[in-house]
Amino acid sequence: MPTFYNQATLSYNNTVTGSNIVQGELVEAISAAKTAVVDSYTNGSTVTYIISIVNSGAAPLTGLTLTDDLGAYAFGTDTLVPLTYVDTSVKYYADGVLQPSPAVTVTDGNLVISGINVPANGDTVVAYSVTANTFAPIEEAAQITNTVTISGDGLAQSVTADETISSSDEPILTISKALSPTSVTENGQLTYTFTIYNSGSAPAIATDNVTVTDNFDPILNPITVTYEGVTWTENVNYTYNPATGAFATVPGQITVPAATFTQDPETGAWSVAPGTVTLTVTGTV
Question: Residue 1: which of 29, 36, 40 has the closest Cα?
Answer: 29
| C-beta of residue 79 within 8 angstroms of C-beta of residue 109 | yes
CA 55 vs CA 65, 122, 125: distances in Å: 15, 5, 11
pLDDT of 2 > 80? The answer is no
**Rounded to an integer, what distance in angstroms lies between the CA atom of residue 83 and that of residue 105?**
14
Domain boundaries, the chain: 30-167, 173-284
pLDDT at residue 13, as a whole number: 82
User: What value does the mean pLDDT take over residues 132-150?
Assistant: 95
Q: How confident is the model at residue 26 (pLDDT cuts 50, 70, 90)?
A: low
- Mean residue pLDDT of the chain comes to 94
Show Cβ contacts of residue 231 under 8 Å, excluding neighbours closer than 6 positions. 224, 225
| C-beta of residue 117 within 8 angstroms of C-beta of residue 62 | yes
pLDDT of 74 > 90? The answer is yes
- Give the tens place of pLDDT for each residue, 201-230: 999 999 999 999 999 999 999 999 999 999
| C-beta of residue 145 within 8 angstroms of C-beta of residue 34 | no
- Give the tens place of pLDDT for each residue, 234-247: 999 999 999 999 99
Domain 30-167 -> CATH class: mainly beta
**Rounded to an integer, what distance in angstroms lies between the CA atom of residue 128 and that of residue 67?**
12
**Rounded to an integer, what distance in angstroms lies between the CA atom of residue 249 and that of residue 235?**
9
- Give the tens place of pLDDT for each residue, 151-196: 998 888 899 999 999 999 999 999 999 999 988 888 899 999 999 9
pLDDT of 1 > 60? The answer is no
pTM score of the predicted model: 0.80
- Give the tens place of pLDDT for each residue, 270-280: 999 999 999 99
